[in-house]
Structure 1
Amino acid sequence: MRNREIEVLIVEDDRRIAEIQQRYIEQIQGFQVVGIAASYIEARTLIDILKPDLLLLDVYFPDMNGLDLLKETKQLEKHTDVIMITATKELDKVQEAISIGVFDYMIKPVVFDRFKQALQRYQDFHNKLLLLGKENTLITQQEVDSLLRKEVEVTSNNDRSYLPKGIDPLTLEKVLEVLGKVGVGLTADSVAKEIGVSRTTARRYLEHLVSVERIEADLAYGTVGRPERVYIVER
Structure 2
Amino acid sequence: MKADAANATPPIRVLIVEDDERIAEINRRFVEKVPGFGVVGIATDEPQALELMSVLEPDLVLLDIYFPETSGLELLRTIGQQHRQADVIMITAAKEVEAVREAIRGGVFDYIIKPVLFSRMQETLQRYESFHRTIKQLGQDNASIGQDEIDRLLQGSTKKEAPGPGASLPKGIDKLTLDKIVQAISEANAPLTAEETAKRIGVSRSTARRYLEHLAEEGKLRADLSYGDVGRPERVYFRKNK
Question: Would you call these one fold, judging by a TM-score over 0.5?
Answer: yes
What is residue 135 of structure 1 aligned with on the other side?
A: 141
Q: Is the 8 A contact 1:128 1:147 kept in 2?
A: yes
What is residue 98 of structure 1 aligned with on the other side?
A: 104
What CA deviation, in whole Å up to 9, does each residue of 1:195-224 have, x standing for no partner?
A: xxxx99x97885343232432379xxxxxx
Match for 1:136: what amino acid? Answer: N
CA–CA distance in 2 between the matches of 1:217 and 1:152? 20
What is residue 41 of structure 2 aligned with on the other side?
A: 35
Q: CA deviation at 1:51?
A: 1.1
What is residue 159 of structure 2 aligned with on the other side?
A: 152
Match for 2:219: what amino acid? Answer: R
Q: CA deviation at 1:232?
A: 8.6
Match for 1:148: what amino acid? Answer: L
What CA deviation, in whole Å up to 9, does each residue of 1:158-204 have, x standing for no partner?
A: xxxxxxxxxxx7534xx9xx9xxxxxx954699xxxxxxxx99x978
What is residue 209 of structure 1 aligned with on the other side?
A: 214
CA–CA distance in 1 between the matches of 2:84 and 2:94? 25
Runs of 5+ in structure 1 lacking a partner?
Answer: 158-168, 179-184, 191-198, 219-230
Q: Is the 8 A contact 1:214 1:234 kept in 2?
A: no
Shift in CA distance, 204/15, structure 1 to aligned 2, threshold 3 Å: closer
Match for 2:160: what amino acid? Answer: E
Shift in CA distance, 113/211, structure 1 to aligned 2, threshold 3 Å: farther
CA–CA distance in 2 between the matches of 1:72 and 1:217? 33
Out of 64, 70, 74, the residue aligned to residue 70 of structure 2 is 64
Match for 1:23: what amino acid? Answer: R
CA–CA distance in 2 between the matches of 1:155 and 1:61? 32
CA–CA distance in 1 between the matches of 2:182 and 2:91? 34
Runs of 5+ in structure 2 lacking a partner?
Answer: 1-6, 184-202, 224-237
**Alignment size in residue pairs:** 195
Shift in CA distance, 42/135, structure 1 to aligned 2, threshold 3 Å: same
The CA RMSD over aligned residues, in Å, is 3.2
Q: CA deviation at 1:3?
A: 2.0
How is 1:5-84 mapped onto 2 (pairs within 5 angstroms)?
5-84=11-90
Out of 110, 114, 127, the residue aligned to residue 121 of structure 1 is 127
Q: TM-score, normalised by structure 1?
A: 0.72
Q: CA deviation at 1:121?
A: 1.1
- SS of the residue corresponding to residue 171 of structure 1 reads coil
Q: CA deviation at 1:38?
A: 0.7
